[in-house]
Amino acid sequence: MTKNSNSLFMYPKERHIRRLSPPKYSRYRSYKISLQEEFYCRCVYCTLPDVLKGHEAFGVDHYRPRSKFPGLEVEYTNLFYSCNICNSMKRDFWPSKEQLVKKHFIPNPCDHVMHGHLKIVDAEIIAKDITGKFMIDVLDLNEAKSVEYRKTLIAIYNSIITEVKEVERKKKIFLSKIKKCTDDATKNDLSKKTELIDKNLAKLHQLQARMIGPM
């Protein structure tokens, strides 16, 4: 079944439960590859996939900042996969007691249901509550270039969906012809063309899966 483009940018509807248990490292950057897999190649704050920009445009975020919690610098449960933009905007932010009372904090994806705070409509991130609004403002999630990039990814994904449907349509035509064909040579030729179609479909599905992830 082909997933629609609404699934490309979507905040998780459940708290993230960490699946990996990487070995202990002395440098937090050594966890980056594990975090990339842990969070499905997406920024935990804006849900941007690293499919086009690559993991070089992403880094390791300390949910509790190193400047305030030095003992958690290499603690895996304090580390998240984040795009460089969100990471630089977040910096060493940590809410004060007064901010917590006002619900002005950045949700921890492992402790909070992100979908309860934020949603994405037409590439724009929309706040669902006070906390979501605060997060959008602090991380500047709707900065013009970010919104435009999300729109570009959605357009690319939609073109893939269209191409998949067209290739599947052609495959049905060839399969129908093979079923009706009585000439062995023609049937063999049609079968080879069907195999090529299957290879093209496989490539399209791989790209689609990489963009959408398992979420």
pLDDT in tens, 122-136: 999 999 999 999 999
Within a domain: 13? no
Within a domain: 26? no
pTM of the model: 0.82
Give the contacts of 130 (CB within 8 A, at least 6 positions apart).
102, 103, 104
Within a domain: 112? no
Q: Pinpoint the alpha helices (H) of 91-129.
A: 97-101
Within a domain: 105? no
Tell me the residue range of the domain where 197 lies.
Answer: 147-212
Within a domain: 14? no
Is residue 2 very low, low, confident or very high in pLDDT (cuts 50, 70, 90)? very low
Count CB-CB contacts under 10 A for residue 136. Answer: 18
CB 120 within 8 A of CB 126: yes
Q: How many domains does the chain have?
A: 1
Is residue 117 very low, low, confident or very high in pLDDT (cuts 50, 70, 90)? very high
Residue 213: the pLDDT is 62
Within a domain: 176? yes
Determine the average pLDDT of the residues in 55-66: 94
Q: For residue 33, which phi and psi values (nearest 5 degrees)?
A: -65, -40
Within a domain: 97? no
Within a domain: 152? yes
Q: The tokens of 103 are what?
A: 């619900």
Helix (H) or strand (E) holding 197: helix 184-212
Count CB-CB contacts under 10 A for residue 27. Answer: 10
CA proximity to 80, closest of 48, 113, 39, 25? 39
Residue 29 to residue 31: CA distance in whole angstroms: 5
